[in-house]
Amino acid sequence: MEAFRVVLSSSAVLLLAGNLAGQAVTSTWITGLLPPEAKVIETADLEVGGGTQRGLVLWMVHPTRVVRQESGDLGCADWVYGDHWYGPTRLSLFDVTNKRLINTIEIRGMYEGAKEKDHGFPIPFLVQNGSYYVPQIGSNKEGAPMILNLRDLTGEGVAGQFVLFEYEACAISLTTVLGYSPKSDRAVQYGVERPTESGKSEIVPWVEQVFGAKPVRPGHWDFTWQPGHGAEGSVHEQVSFDRKKQVFVKQ
């Protein structure tokens, strides 16, 4: 049975070509099910139990390669994005056993409208270990990040979710959880239910800081952070995953 392994890029050339190490077995049938303009960024297998094989594929449509200036001076956004690809971004779930595409979702930033045709998202390929997990750090304190750093973020017993980051201000990022939903057997971007000033609740895809912090246990966050930037005091975050609603709930 064909293996579906986590793939990390070792250089921009490998990423752009889409011929990532370890994809020799699966790349032909996977790319055959994706649009011809798709550039595969990473793939990861899923242990979902019951002999079922699933695979996640992060890919982009004609991404632009964005490289920082060589001055060595990093701006706040560079700590999140580093050298990155920018373009329309997608996440697909595959049935590896039967070699079929289950579903694909678009990944959009917090402030991009759902109907905007011209949109894109930055996915780093060389960055410092911080927002994204970098397994091997080079002499410049940077390396290739593992974007599909799969963990059990919902507490449902399947390590199938990962976090993306969107720069908002120095030391502050918007965060979102994406990945595999054991309940629906689909790729999803999880929403966060949060209270509003009117007393009602709303569901949003991105929230500040929360998912960049370590959960106290799978599916639960409880921590305090200081926004700074002229804001006084600190913010206490309490967020838990509601299995019935399939959303994270922010107190």
In a domain, 2, yes or no: no
Per-residue model confidence (pLDDT) at position 197: 84
Report how far apart, in Å, the C-alpha atoms of 44 and of each of 56, 94, 147 are.
5, 10, 10
Mind listing the pLDDT tens digit for each residue in 102-146?
999 999 999 876 666 678 999 999 999 999 999 999 988 999 999
Alpha-carbon distance of 62 to 236, in angstroms, equals 40
Any idea what DSSP says for residue 36? Answer: T
Is pLDDT above 50 for 3? Answer: no
4 in any annotated domain: no
Return the ∠ at Cα 230 (arms to 177 and 72), rounded to 5°. 65
Nearest-angstrom CA–CA distance, 133 and 165: 12
| Inside any domain, residue 118 | yes
Q: What percentage of the chain has pLDDT greater than the value 70?
A: 85
Q: Which residue range forms the structural domain that includes residue 240?
A: 12-250
Q: How confident is the model at residue 198 (pLDDT cuts 50, 70, 90)?
A: confident
- CB burial of 113-147 (b: ≥16 within 10 Å; e: otherwise) equals eeeeeebbbbbbbbbbeebbebeeeeeeebbbbbb
Nearest CA among 120, 130, 149 for reference residue 42: 149
Q: How far apart are CA 21 and CA 231, in angstroms?
A: 46
The domain total for the chain is 1
The string of pLDDT tens digits covering residues 222-231 is 999 998 876 7
| pLDDT-derived band at 233, boundaries 50, 70, 90 | confident
> Rounded mean pLDDT of the chain?
87
Q: Is 7 inside a domain boundary? A: no
Give a yes or no: residue 1 inside a domain. no
pLDDT in tens, 7-44: 433 333 333 333 333 333 346 889 999 999 999 999 99
Handedness of CA 213, 211, 53, 51 (dihedral sign): positive
pLDDT of res. 70: 61
